[in-house]
Amino acid sequence: MEGRILIIGLGLIGGSLAMCIKKAHEGSRIIGFDLRIEDARLARTLGIIDDFCIQYEEEAQQADLIIIATPVMESEKIIKTLASLPLKQGAIVTDTGSTKGKITLSAAELLQKGITFIGGHPMAGSHKSGITAAKEILFENAFYLLTPDQQISSEKVVLLKEWLRGTNAKFIEISPIQHDYITGMVSHFPHLIAASLVHQAEKLSVTQSLIPRLAAGGFRDITRIASSSPEMWRDILLHNRDQLLDLLNDWEKEMEIVKQMIAEENGEGIFGYFNGAKKFRDGLPAREKGAIPAFYDLYVDVPDYPGVISEITGFLAKENISITNIRIIETREEIYGVLVISFQTDEDRQKAASCIAHYSNYATSYGS
């Protein structure tokens, strides 16, 4: 399939989609736009796009497919601008945002003019951002949610899936309301809770100076998503306001149950609470990509001597195994420390464990 594609927003998601489309549809021409002109130039230099434009309005009128890969607040503005343009008949417009309710309302003007808009949300990400982090495999086996309006024909949805075939993602069609509630629960709400835990730790650290040191291990890991973009999460929370308020009300009720069990010293109830949570959590798919990017961590017990980190990374370099992050946990007083290495995929983590076992006698274990 050949055509002209405009991608507005050349960050991690936009850049990765460009690579996937280029791979699957070699005869197509991909034009990119980004407010950061240097990023657009870099994308062209790297061969991620064929060319870039300074203003997207004129290019949009020639495009067969327009992908909006920007923060949700900006996506609303772009959709309104597109609705004022004489877009090509038969063109498809889609987005990649984490919320769909307000985006769908904004796209009503496009639908009224006979332009197909299909909301999209690739549930994949990375610990890195920007065009240089773009990868063809970013969406592989990830869920890609599509939220077509009821008046959109199934043929148009099939056509969009064909354009996105190179992602190798798992497409699921749901309503915008269902999308916002589900992603609110499994993505937006956890980010909010993680941020609140960090704030609580910060406040307590004023009088408890040991908190920052002891939080360097597990606490830092379970709140890792609190390090996400503040601008992005401001927009998402405001866009998904109603769903999150409902979830917060449910959370307050849940915490009241826990408070009552603790106050009444209800040991049996507390055991059942944690046991039920453990069973449900342990039953969740371990090898599928979900709403929040997984952290494929490998824990390596290493002695504390100069050069040990370069030694370990040297083993991995020999086998061409890429890492996304590396850090040392210093919460123990024993002679051995813990080196935590993060990988893009579970396959890379398994390869790394085998590699380290082959070259050394350092013990390794998987994060969960």
Domain range for 323 is 296-366
Handedness of CA 340, 286, 133, 33 (dihedral sign): negative
Q: What is the pLDDT of residue 116?
A: 96
> Is residue 351 domain-shared with residue 305, that is, in the same domain?
yes
d(CA 8, CA 24): 20
The verdict on residue 345 lying in a domain is yes
> Is residue 41 domain-shared with residue 140, that is, in the same domain?
yes
Q: What is the pLDDT of residue 331?
A: 43
Residue ending a domain, among 282, 315, 350, is 282
- Residue 44 corresponds to which amino acid? R
The verdict on residue 227 lying in a domain is yes
> Is residue 309 domain-shared with residue 277, that is, in the same domain?
no
The verdict on residue 287 lying in a domain is no
> Is residue 107 domain-shared with residue 190, that is, in the same domain?
no
The verdict on residue 335 lying in a domain is yes
Tokens (6 digits) for 41:
């130039």
d(CA 255, CA 340): 32
Q: In sequence order, what are the beta bridge partners of 341?
A: 298, 326
Residue ending a domain, among 226, 252, 282, is 282
Residue ending a domain, among 174, 208, 232, is 174
CATH for 71: 3.40.50.720
- Phi and psi, residue 65, nearest 5°: -140, 130
> Is residue 94 domain-shared with residue 202, that is, in the same domain?
no
CATH for 261: 1.10.3660.10
> Is residue 204 domain-shared with residue 164, that is, in the same domain?
no
Q: What is the pLDDT of residue 294?
A: 65
Count of C-beta atoms within a 10 Å radius of residue 55: 8
The answer to whether residues 109 and 87 touch, using CB atoms and an 8 Å cutoff, is no
The answer to whether residues 46 and 131 touch, using CB atoms and an 8 Å cutoff, is yes
The answer to whether residues 14 and 36 touch, using CB atoms and an 8 Å cutoff, is no
> Is residue 83 domain-shared with residue 44, that is, in the same domain?
yes
The H or E element that residue 366 is part of is strand 364-366
Q: What is the pLDDT of residue 367?
A: 63
- Domain count of the fold of the chain: 3
29-33 vs 364-366, strand pairing mode: unpaired
d(CA 176, CA 105): 10
Residue 84, burial from CB neighbour count under 10 angstroms (0-12, 13-18, 19+): exposed
> Is residue 306 domain-shared with residue 213, that is, in the same domain?
no
> Is residue 237 domain-shared with residue 168, that is, in the same domain?
no
> Is residue 188 domain-shared with residue 147, that is, in the same domain?
no
Full-model pTM: 0.79
- The DSSP letter of residue 365 is E
Give pLDDT tens digits along the chain (368 positions). 889 999 999 999 999 999 999 999 999 999 999 999 999 999 999 999 999 999 999 999 999 999 999 999 999 999 999 999 999 989 999 999 999 999 999 999 999 989 999 999 999 876 667 898 889 988 988 899 999 998 899 999 999 999 999 999 999 999 999 999 999 999 999 999 999 999 999 999 999 988 988 887 678 878 888 888 888 899 999 999 999 999 999 999 999 999 999 999 999 999 999 999 999 988 887 666 666 666 678 888 877 677 888 888 898 988 888 887 787 765 444 445 678 888 877 788 889 999 988 888 888 887 65
The verdict on residue 55 lying in a domain is yes
> Is residue 70 domain-shared with residue 135, that is, in the same domain?
yes
The H or E element that residue 33 is part of is strand 29-33
CATH for 355: 3.30.2130.10
The verdict on residue 289 lying in a domain is no
> Is residue 228 domain-shared with residue 150, that is, in the same domain?
no
